[in-house]
């Protein structure tokens, strides 16, 4: 049974049982405490927590998920994958334990011809929470499971909570017994791979508080409306139904594994270590494909870092399988073909996806080349120092700074006959993970608890009137002071105020929040920020300027009209620039992020190379032509499917409901889904002035522009500057570039002549320096400070000249100089001096330590520097003392 068929049977079964079928949310979640959708329940959190009323009583879905917590287990067990699909059915205050158990057992054990999955009940085991007698008795009554195949387990496995105050409850898990060939008898309690968990039924029935850990908390009481949250692992069911040993051999994953086998020339099933690597490649390529399809791009932080890590682990695994060259073109194509029936976007958006994948692979292959060179130097230094291992700190630097995998470091070190101080490396990695976990816990505590908004959201959605009105009369629904509900807020306090209706725009879609005030009888509030803490609810952060505001009072929201006008100009300009980019660069130049505020826009887009000056000018001209053409701006609210059919751009990572707002500028020329505020005709934008273009990652670029009056002011300032230059240089403005180029060339020529004269003058000091040589034992030493010099190269040249003048007897030359305000030290030794143990690199390190810096180099010549030029005499003295010791 194909994976897609299993998913369809699941959805069809629950559709017949009165469940609304909900499409999968993006892998990119809008929960600020999470990077990704890590579980099937994430999109339903607002409904399960009660923060937002559920729009349906029953639902079912097939949710895409990414989880990297167990990334090191990928390939080693039959069930661990980073990308997975979670089939779920949900009840919001409707059916509870009995209904969930009936539905699960019915689907699992019904014959295939009746739409079921046809599991043999004799192969199924069930676990329940040890204190949940109700669930235990229901399993006995509703199914033909014998008592011995229903096991009671503790909170660590059979109790669900988020680790935060809120809903929680016991759960019941369904396991498939793979048989004695896969492990020991005894059921799921043995925690053996023989028993594969395929479905988890969470009975969300309690409210918890005083959470001390995920399994240590106080139960306040039962929830007023009990919920059901279930999850059936699609990949786990697939590998069982397809009769293969693990999820990596299922129909959606195996093609990538087979392609890796073909490219490597090795055999799957022959060597355990190779098998793990093949599975890692198969899993990580599929996960990367799905993340790219949902708009994540490789970077050094956040979601992009996780994607980059997955891609680089796949490249590393292919290298360990003996393939040093690029493979992503073929591996990603194999994954695309395996996934396109279930997720057509991986094919329709293939040009953009493959562009990112191939660019990241090329970048990392270059990283591996440069990292190998750095490691080679480290190995050579370890051998020269007589060490048998590479320091853990050096391995960590390669890993953390250069992205060089530790496994590859270990492999190369072993080939060189050395080890790596793995304990020190692991300590540094653990410290880094602890810092990351502490940061994640901090963010979760700060951002995840939205329960304070629950009662406010229960009163209904905040109505936004600002598309048509700049003032709206309403009433105060609620007030929060210091994060807690309050009856009122007084002068000088900062508070959150929730209104039934508001004209003030809440930050979203790249558009910053409106400025303005809220006024009522006897009070005035300055609006500092406007946000949507939970879907459908708008909260105004305010400072009470005068009077006292209380819950239930009348309130009028008043938008700063000038700021809103400029914000509308900026948001419409963002759409114009996006359309101009796609017109110029092609359809793969899609939006990757934006910010627009009064007078300014910042727009990130997928592109892997810098834009030429001519291209930037063309984009700017196309956008301003659209302004000149006075195009009509229309907004329509229509079903999502209809908007997409009309070609509307839907931005990656954005959440859309069944109905969406579509913004057209010039009809289909610019057509995007957008909830922001806009001008009514393009001419109102005024002027768009591109002021910058830069890189924001290997495959993303950023353009910045000023809009409207700010654009005019910038151009006026440039005009004044050009006028001033023209007057100062007594040159017509059209001849300024040639005149400035001429002056620059003259300046460079003069600087070159001065440098040559200074170098000649410095070189003439060689005889005097030779005469200043002193004897320290068997070695002749010149250790002198030169004062200032034009460059370190001049000092190096002089040091070598003096060394050569000293002949073949043991000689050491150490010269110091101030170059550009900073101290530089050059050491040079001849063969005879090195035979006595005098090495330039070691001497430079001594001197550099005195001047507050570092340095090194070869035994014959080395360079160092620091920050304290006044310490140069002391540094030279330290060198002579070391030579005389």
Binding-site residues, in ranges, read 571, 575, 674, 678
Angle, alpha carbons 293-297-302 (nearest 5°): 120
Q: How far is CA 46 from the centre of its chain?
A: 24
Structure tokens at 166: 């809120």
The answer to whether 249 touches 257, Cβ cutoff 8 Å, is yes
3-state SS, one letter per residue, for 183-216: CCCCCHHHCCCCEEEEEEEEEEEEEEEEEEECCE
d(CA 19, CA 30): 25
d(CA 575, CA 586): 15
Identify each DSSP E strand in 408-500 by its residue range.
419-420, 463-464, 471-481, 484-486, 488-490, 494-499
d(CA 76, CA 365): 26
* Nearest residue to 605 via CA among 681, 702, 465, 481: 702
Q: What is the DSSP letter of 465?
A: -
Q: Please state whether 39 falls in left (phi above 0), alpha (psi between -120 and 50) or beta.
A: beta
Q: Do β-strands 58-66 and 20-22 pair in parallel, antiparallel, or remain unpaired? A: parallel
Rg of the chain's alpha carbons, rounded to an integer? 34
Q: Please state whether 386 falls in left (phi above 0), alpha (psi between -120 and 50) or beta.
A: left
Question: In angstroms, what CA-CA distances link 286 with 293, 323, 520, 825?
Answer: 11, 19, 56, 53
Helix-helix angle 872-884:840-850, to 10 degrees: 140
**Measured distance between the N- and C-terminal CA atoms of the chain, rounded to whole angstroms:** 81
* Nearest residue to 237 via CA among 180, 176, 185, 290: 176
d(CA 505, CA 466): 7
Give the annotated binding-site residues for Zn(2+). 571, 575, 674, 678
Structure tokens at 541: 């952060």
């Amino acid at each position: 049974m194909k994976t897609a068929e299993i998913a369809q049977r699941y959805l069809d079964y629950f559709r017949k049982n009165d469940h609304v079928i909900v499409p999968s949310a993006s892998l990119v979640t809008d929960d600020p405490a999470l990077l990704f959708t890590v579980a099937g329940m994430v999109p339903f959190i607002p409904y399960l927590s009660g923060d937002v009323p559920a729009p349906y009583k029953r639902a079912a879905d097939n949710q895409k998920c990414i989880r990297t917590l167990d990334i090191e287990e990928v390939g080693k067990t039959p069930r661990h994958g980073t990308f997975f699909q979670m089939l779920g059915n949900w009840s919001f205050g409707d059916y509870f334990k009995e209904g969930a158990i009936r539905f699960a057992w019915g689907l699992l054990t019904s014959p295939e011809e009746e739409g079921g999955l046809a599991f043999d009940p004799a192969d199924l085991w069930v676990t329940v929470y040890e204190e949940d007698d109700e669930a235990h008795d229901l399993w006995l009554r509703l199914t033909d499971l014998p008592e011995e195949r229903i096991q009671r387990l503790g909170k660590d496995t059979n109790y669900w909570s988020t680790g935060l105050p809120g809903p929680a409850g016991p759960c019941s898990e369904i396991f498939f017994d793979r048989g004695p060939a896969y492990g020991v008898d005894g059921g799921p309690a043995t925690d053996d791979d023989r028993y594969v968990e395929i479905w988890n039924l969470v009975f969300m029935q309690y409210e918890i508080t005083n959470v001390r850990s995920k399994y240590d908390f106080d139960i306040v009481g039962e929830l007023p409306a009990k919920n059901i949250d279930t999850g059936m692992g699609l990949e786990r069911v697939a590998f069982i139904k397809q009769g293969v040993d693990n999820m990596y051999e299922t129909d959606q994953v195996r093609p990538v594994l087979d392609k890796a086998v073909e490219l490597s020339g090795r055999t799957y099933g022959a060597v355990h270590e190779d098998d793990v690597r093949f599975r890692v490649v198969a899993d990580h390529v599929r996960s990367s494909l799905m993340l790219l399809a949902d708009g994540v791009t490789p970077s050094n932080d956040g979601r992009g870092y996780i994607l980059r890590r997955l891609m680089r682990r796949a490249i590393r695994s292919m290298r360990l399988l003996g393939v040093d060259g690029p493979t992503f073109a073929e591996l990603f194509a194999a994954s695309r073909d395996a996934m396109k029936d279930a997720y057509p976007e991986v094919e329709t958006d293939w040009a953009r996806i493959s562009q990112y994948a191939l660019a990241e692979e090329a970048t990392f292959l270059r990283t591996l080349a440069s990292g190998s060179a750095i490691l080679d130097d480290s190995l050579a230094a370890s051998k020269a120092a007589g060490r048998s291992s590479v320091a853990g700190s050096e391995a960590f630097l390669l890993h953390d700074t250069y992205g060089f995998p530790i496994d590859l470091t270990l492999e190369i070190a072993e080939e060189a006959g050395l080890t790596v101080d793995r304990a020190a490396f692991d300590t540094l990695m653990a410290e880094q993970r602890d810092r990351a976990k502490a940061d994640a816990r901090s963010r979760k505590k700060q951002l995840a608890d939205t329960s304070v908004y629950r009662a406010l959201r229960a009163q209904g959605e905040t109505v936004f009137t600002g598309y048509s009105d700049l003032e709206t009369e309403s009433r105060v629904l609620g007030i929060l002071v210091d994060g807690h509900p309050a009856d009122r807020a007084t002068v000088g306090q900062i508070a959150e105020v929730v209104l039934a209706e508001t004209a003030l725009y809440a930050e979203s879609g790249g558009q910053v929040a409106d400025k303005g005030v809220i006024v009522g009888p006897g009070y005035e509030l300055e609006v500092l920020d406007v946000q949507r803490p939970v879907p459908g609810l708008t909260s105004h952060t305010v400072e009470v300027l005068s009077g006292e505001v209380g819950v239930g009072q009348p309130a009028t929201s008043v938008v700063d009209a000038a700021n809103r006008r400029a914000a509308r100009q900026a948001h419409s300009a963002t759409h114009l620039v996006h359309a101009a980019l796609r017109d110029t660069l092609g359809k793969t130049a899609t939006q990757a992020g934006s910010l627009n505020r009064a007078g300014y826009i910042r727009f990130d887009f997928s592109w892997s190379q810098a834009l030429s000056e001519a291209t930037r000018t063309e984009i700017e001209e196309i956008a301003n032509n659209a302004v000149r053409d006075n195009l009509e701006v229309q907004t329509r609210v229509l079903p999502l499917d209809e908007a997409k059919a009309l070609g509307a751009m839907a931005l990656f990572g954005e959440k859309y409901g069944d109905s969406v707002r579509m913004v057209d500028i010039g009809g289909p020329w610019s057509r995007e889904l957008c909830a922001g505020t806009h001008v009514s005709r393009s001419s109102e934008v005024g002027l768009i002035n591109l002021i910058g273009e830069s890189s924001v990652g290997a495959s993303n670029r950023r353009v910045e522009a000023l809009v409207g009056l700010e654009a005019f002011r910038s151009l006026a300032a440039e005009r004044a500057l050009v006028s001033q230059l023209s007057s100062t240089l007594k040159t017509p403005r059209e001849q300024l570039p040639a005149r400035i180029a001429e002056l620059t060339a003259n300046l460079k020529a003069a600087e070159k002549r001065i440098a040559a004269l200074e170098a000649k003058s410095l070189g003439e000091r060689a005889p005097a320096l030779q005469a200043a040589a002193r004897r320290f034992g068997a070695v002749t030493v010149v250790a002198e400070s030169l004062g200032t010099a034009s460059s370190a190269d001049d000092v190096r040249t002089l040091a070598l000249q003096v060394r050569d003048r000293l002949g073949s007897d043991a000689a050491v030359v150490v010269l110091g100089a101030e170059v550009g305000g900073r101290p530089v030290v050059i050491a040079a030794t001849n063969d005879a001096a090195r035979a006595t143990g005098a090495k330039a690199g070691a001497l430079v390190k001594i001197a550099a330590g005195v001047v507050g810096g570092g340095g090194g180099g070869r035994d014959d010549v080395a360079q160092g520097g620091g920050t304290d030029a006044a310490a140069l005499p002391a540094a030279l003295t330290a060198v002579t003392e070391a030579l005389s010791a």
